Amino acid sequence: MPLTLYTYASPPRFYALSGLMVPWFWAAAIALTAVGLWMGFFVAPTDATQGEVYRVIFIHVPAAWMSMLLYLVMAFWAAIGWAFNARLASAVARSIAPTGAMFTFLALWTGALWGKPTWGTYWVWDARLTSELILLFLYLGYIALTEAIDDPRRSDQAGALLAVVGSVNVPIIYFSVKWWNTLHQGASVSLTAAPKMATTMLTAMLIMTFAFWAYAFAVVFTRTRARLLERERNALWVRELVAGGGRS
């Protein structure tokens, strides 16, 4: 069977392939997490200014990066699904949203817990945290809209439009929030990690980012597989799948 760009756009082929890949993604996620956290807690030194609390960075920054990346990936696949009427692409986009929203929440939660000992309050309206909050609203809006529409096709298409509009707006929103923040707080103290990070800190953070990425693949693929089974319940490939004992 010749391999083309569209070979795995077919739901049954994707279902089979992703079923093989998911365990490997889990293995990678666990291994990378183990290495990353070991480096982060046992190799990376104590920070000169922040002490030990800076170690939240090993989940805060990966979560924030993933939240932003996943939104763009979601919008991309939603747009592909809309433009080419590709069922799988739309299913993947819908399946990304909850994970993206979760990472956004984690970024905010860990940011708040990092902020309390560092800046004195659980919440600061700095540009990045505020933008992250608005990103959470964008995710929630996407999920709310797509869940409110019963017809899958209309739901996917409306979601795609919203995700694309949101993506275009993200830079505008970020810029305006940055503007708003600097004007209201004057010459702002740098509210991010110390500008120069020790190499070990950076390495651990990057490893954790890849760990989160592997995790995202595993969860999103699992959810996509569930969604495909739900949507294509009456298709021949699903019927054959469950005829064989239904344990795949």
Partner 1 sequence: MNWNSPAEFFAMGGSGFFVWGSYIVCALCMGVEPVLAARRRKRALREAADERNRTARAGNEDGHVQDEED
Partner 2 sequence: MNPLFVQVLVRDLRLAARRRIESLLPLAFFVVAVSLFPLGVGPEPQTLRLIAPGIVWVCALLAAMLSVNTLYAGDLADGSLEQMLLAPHSAVWLALAKAAGHWLTAGLPLILASPVIGLLFDLSTQALGTLVIGLALGTPILSLLGGLGAAMTLGLRSAGMLLVLIVLPLAVPALIFGAGAVDAVEQGLSASGHHSLLGALLIATAMGVPWATAAALRISTE
Q: Please report, as ranges, the residues that interact with partner 2 according to CB under 8 A.
A: 134, 137-138, 140-141, 144-145, 148-149, 153-154, 157-158, 161-162, 164-166, 168-169, 172-173, 175-177, 179-180, 183
How many distinct helices (H) and strands (E) make up the chain?
7, 0
Using CB atoms within 10 A of its CB, is residue 1 exposed (0-12), middle (13-18) or buried (19+)? exposed
| Residues 228 and 14: beta-carbon distance below 8 Å | yes
The whole-angstrom separation of Cα 161 and Cα 144 is: 14
Report CA 73 to chain centroid distance, whole Å. 9
- Per-position x/- string for 3-42, each x denoting binding to partner 1 as judged by CB under 8 A, each - no binding: --------------------------------------xx
Q: Does 46 bind partner 1 (CB under 8 A)?
A: yes
Report CA 145 to chain centroid distance, whole Å. 19
Choose the stretch contacting partner 1; rule: CB under 8 A; options: 145-153, 155-163, 173-181, 217-225.
217-225
Shortest reach from residue 154's CB to partner 1, in Å: 21
Instruction: Tokens 């920070």: give the residue.
Output: 47
Instruction: Tokens 């209201």: give the residue.
Output: 184
Structure tokens belonging to residue 59: 């989940």
* Binds 246: which of partner 1, partner 2, none (CB < 5-8 Å by kind): partner 1
The whole-angstrom separation of Cα 37 and Cα 184 is: 37
Shortest reach from residue 231's CB to partner 2, in Å: 18
Q: Does 120 bind partner 1 (CB under 8 A)?
A: no
- Binding residues vs partner 1 (CB under 8 A): 41-46, 51-53, 55-56, 59-60, 63, 98-99, 102, 105-106, 109-110, 113-114, 116-117, 215, 218-219, 222-223, 225-227, 229-230, 233-234, 236, 238-243, 246-248
